[in-house]
Amino acid sequence: MTTLSIVVPCYNEEQVLNETARRLVALMNQMADAKQIDPQHSTILFVNDGSSDQTWPLIASLHKTLPYVCGVKLAGNVGHQNALMAGLDTARTLADAIISIDADLQDDINVIPEMVTLFAEGNDIVYGVRRERTTDTWFKRNTALGFYHLMRWWGVRSVYNHADFRLMSRRAVEQLGQYRERNLFLRGIVPLIGYKTAQVYYDRAERFAGESKYPLSKMINFAIDGITSFSVAPVRMIIYIGLAFILISVIMLGYVIVSLANGTAVPGWSSLLLSLWFIGGSVLLSIGIVGEYIGKIYLEVKARPRYNIEEICLKE
């Protein structure tokens, strides 16, 4: 029997929490009846990511009234990925298998038993992959697809149509803890862990209450964080632009010589035109090289804490 922990990051989710807890508890009971999980030690771990509404009091009262329900309160809003990491770090001390899922249950919880079965069969990571994005808007679907291709292009490998609904074994979460970057982009890191993986497929539902906590601005920031915390390719691009400009200055040299020979050049024009492209190119090249080193250092030195746990309610 598996000891399971379901980690749910919550940011201003008072509208969905009761229903989410009810559905997850029913699922846990069902799996306990099927002797799939250990009802004594399995948990549903809500992580309150510095919500400004009634989310935490609600989690605290659910902890008192419902089985399985536990809670972690972070001292401030650290964002979805870090909140998730706080939950995973806590859950790995409680369980053998840890599942992460969004509070709005847009991901189908009915594939969780299948995930646990795959775990029991020896998979360390089981990705939840959505079949269709029909319930998302055209805009969200296409920005997500564009983002995926951009990330691939920049060299970040991730599982297409997989977000943060996945099962991880305890040792996979422990290994994940070894990746120390502050700019967390979990769906890019998890494939790097390299243990045996499997996938389950489901249809994504609509948010049943409340609003998306990921407006466009947060999505763009998330995308930029994803790229910059994984590659220094943008800085390298400056090097290439610099090289191209220097190449243009060489071409211009030929043009200038021809113009001088023909006597069509205005005095002073040749030197100006050449220096323009050459200096421009050299400056960009130098900035690019310096940037490359700064980028490398930047990736290494980030050792800030990812979150700060203020309060925690666990099973006795």
In the complex, which residues of this chain contact Mg ion (CB under 5 A)? 102, 104, 106
58 binds ligand UDP (CB under 6 A): no
CB of 137 or CB of 262, closer to Mg ion:
137
Q: Which does 108 bind (CB under 5 to 8 A by kind): Mg ion, ligand UDP, none?
A: none
CB of 112 or CB of 284, closer to ligand UDP:
112
130 binds ligand UDP (CB under 6 A): no
Shortest reach from residue 214's CB to ligand UDP, in Å: 4
Shortest reach from residue 112's CB to ligand UDP, in Å: 16
125: three-class secondary structure by DSSP: strand
Tokens matching residue 210? 């409340």
C-beta nearest to Mg ion: residue:
104
If we measure between CA atoms, which residue out of 103, 10, 25, 109 comes closest to residue 62?
Answer: 25
How does 249-260 read in b/e, with b if 16+ C-beta sit within 10 Å? beebeeebeeee
Cβ contact 51:66 at 8 Å? no
How many other CB atoms sit within 10 Å of the CB of residue 134?
9
CB of 206 or CB of 316, closer to Mg ion:
206
Q: 83: which residues sit within 8 A by CB, 6+ positions away?
A: 9, 10, 11, 47, 49, 74, 307
103 binds ligand UDP (CB under 6 A): yes
98-104-106-110 Cα dihedral, nearest 10 degrees: 50
Task: Please count the CA atoms within 13 angstroms of the CA of 239 that sit on its side-chain side.
Answer: 11
Number of residues located near ligand UDP, criterion CB under 6 A: 16
Cβ contact 106:163 at 8 Å? no
CB of 11 or CB of 119, closer to Mg ion:
11
Shortest reach from residue 127's CB to Mg ion, in Å: 17
Q: Which of 92, 170, 213, 306 binds ligand UDP (CB under 6 A)?
A: 213
Shortest reach from residue 266's CB to ligand UDP, in Å: 59
Element (H, E) at 253: helix 233-262
CB of 131 or CB of 171, closer to ligand UDP:
131
83 binds ligand UDP (CB under 6 A): yes
Q: Which of 4, 5, 6, 9 binds ligand UDP (CB under 6 A)?
A: 9
Q: Which does 278 bind (CB under 5 to 8 A by kind): ligand UDP, Mg ion, none?
A: none
Give CA–CA dist 80/30, Å, rounded: 28
Binding site for ligand UDP (CB under 6 A): 9-11, 13, 49, 77, 79-80, 83, 102-104, 106, 212-214
